[in-house]
């Protein structure tokens, strides 16, 4: 399996919204919490708004042409020159959206 990391594109919003909805739904059900999103379309709308937003940094992983995971965070407010280090920890996971 080949995994590619890339920036999310507007065309990815539906797939990423579905991944987001199912991930948070699984967590909520496992802990008996109310769901974060009332339905998939709300998560798709959130992803649509976040993709390309100037204050949000996002990355998604694509495996063999299929989106499997995404993450986003506020863009750093410090200049890159002031950043001391960047570390990336990888773990073996099973994608929630597989199936």
Please check the confidence at residue 6 and state whether its pLDDT lies above 70: yes
Distance of CA 21 to the CA centre of its chain: 10
Domain ranges of the chain: 3-74
Tokens of 3: 């995994």
* Cβ-contact 19, 69 below 8 angstroms: yes
- 3-74: CATH superfamily: Gcn5-related N-acetyltransferase (GNAT) (3.40.630.30)
pLDDT of 82: 45
Instruction: Give 11-32 pLDDT, tens digit per residue.
Output: 999 999 999 999 999 999 999 9
Backbone angles phi, psi at 65, to 5 degrees: 85, 5
* Cβ-contact 19, 67 below 8 angstroms: yes
- Count Cβ atoms within 10 A of the Cβ of residue 48 and give its class: 0-12 exposed, 13-18 middle, 19 or more buried: middle
Residue of higher predicted confidence among 9 and 94: 9
- pTM for the whole structure: 0.70
């Amino acid at each position: 399996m080949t995994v590619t990391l890339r920036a999310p594109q507007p065309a990815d919003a539906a797939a990423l919204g579905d991944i987001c909805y199912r991930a948070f739904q699984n967590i909520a059900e496992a802990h008996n919490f109310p769901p974060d999103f009332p339905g998939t379309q709300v998560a798709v709308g959130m992803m649509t708004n976040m993709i390309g937003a100037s204050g949000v940094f996002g990355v998604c992983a694509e495996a063999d042409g299929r989106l499997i995971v995404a993450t986003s965070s506020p863009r750093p407010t410090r200049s890159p020159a002031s950043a001391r280090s960047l570390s990336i920890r990888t773990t073996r996971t099973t994608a929630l959206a597989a199936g």
